[in-house]
Chains A and B, each alone.
Chain A
Amino acid sequence: GAVVSQHPSRVICKSGTSVKIECRSLDFQATTMFWYRQFPKQSLMLMATSNEGSKATYEQGVEKDKFLINHASLTLSTLTVTSAHPEDSSFYICSASSASRNQPQHFGDGTRLSIL
């Protein structure tokens, strides 16, 4: 089956640090990648949708200057949390989908971000 690798799995860092999370599709070309945030015991909240080679589309209320997304290739998208603060602590999950609209999303294992 399709495999999506997300790295790192866990990050603990000081307030003010910028953190980069990578999402890679290992065995298929992901024209679209999605970034989600999940709060404890809650569902996934879509943050942004990125298509390879173009700017990401952010959901309402998500700061694009805070959460920088780059989707430079068909197998890699990155999310950078800039100048992270404790309120940014969360579980971040990426997913990837191939070209067709009706293809399912395949999820990475998530990144637990803790800002001290």
Chain B
Amino acid sequence: AQSVTQPDIHITVSEGASLELRCNYSYGATPYLFWYVQSPGQGLQLLLKYFSGDTLVQGIKGFEAEFKRSQSSFNLRKPSVHWSDAAEYFCAGGGGSQGNLIFGKGTKLSVKP
């Protein structure tokens, strides 16, 4: 069965430190992969997406993600975290017949001053 796994429920980093949020997928073929961010009480905002081609994808707000087929991973990174990055981050895989997404359970990011 197709699945997306985010192993870390909650991560805390210091402001200015680097960040990596993990995401693993299990699909029969290479899925379309997405990272979304959700602030409390809000909807989801698309950070970046991977369909094919260059495995290092640049997104908004200084985020990037790298697709690694050998590890079935699509980890999200940011070199220097800002306090405003504190939010819930969701990795998602797509490619269903209707474009439906399968979401990971999310990783809550806290940023300490």
Which chain A residues have a beta carbon within 8 Å of chain B's beta carbons? 1, 4, 6, 32, 34, 42-44, 46, 49, 51, 57, 91, 93, 95, 97, 100-110, 112
Contact = CB atoms under 8 A, between A and B. Distances in A.
B98 to A, nearest CB: 5
Contacts of A91: 41
B63 interface: no
A106 to B, nearest CB: 7
B44 A49 contact: no
CB-based closest 7 A-B pairs: A107-B43, A107-B44, A109-B43, A43-B105, A43-B103, A110-B43, A108-B43
Contacts of B94: 101-102, 104-105
Contacts of B105: 42-43
B98 A107 contact: no
A109 B45 CA distance: 9
B11 to A, nearest CB: 15
A104 B98 contact: no
B104 A43 contact: yes
Contacts of B49: 104
Given A34-B101, A49-B100, 15 more contacts: A42-B105, A43-B104, A44-B90, A49-B98, A51-B98, A91-B41, A95-B44, A101-B94, A102-B32, A105-B46, A108-B43, A110-B41, A110-B42, A110-B43, A112-B41
A107 B99 contact: no
Contacts of A106: 46
Nearest to B106: A43
A34 B100 CA distance: 8
A89 B34 CA distance: 28
Given A43-B90, A43-B105, A107 B36 contact: yes
A44 B11 CA distance: 20
Interface in B21-71: 32, 34, 36, 41-46, 49, 51
Contacts of A101: 94-95, 97-99
27 contacts: A4-B43, A43-B103, A43-B104, A43-B105, A44-B44, A44-B103, A49-B98, A57-B98, A91-B41, A93-B43, A93-B44, A97-B99, A101-B95, A102-B32, A102-B95, A102-B99, A104-B34, A105-B101, A106-B46, A107-B43, A107-B46, A109-B42, A109-B43, A110-B41, A110-B42, A110-B43, A112-B41
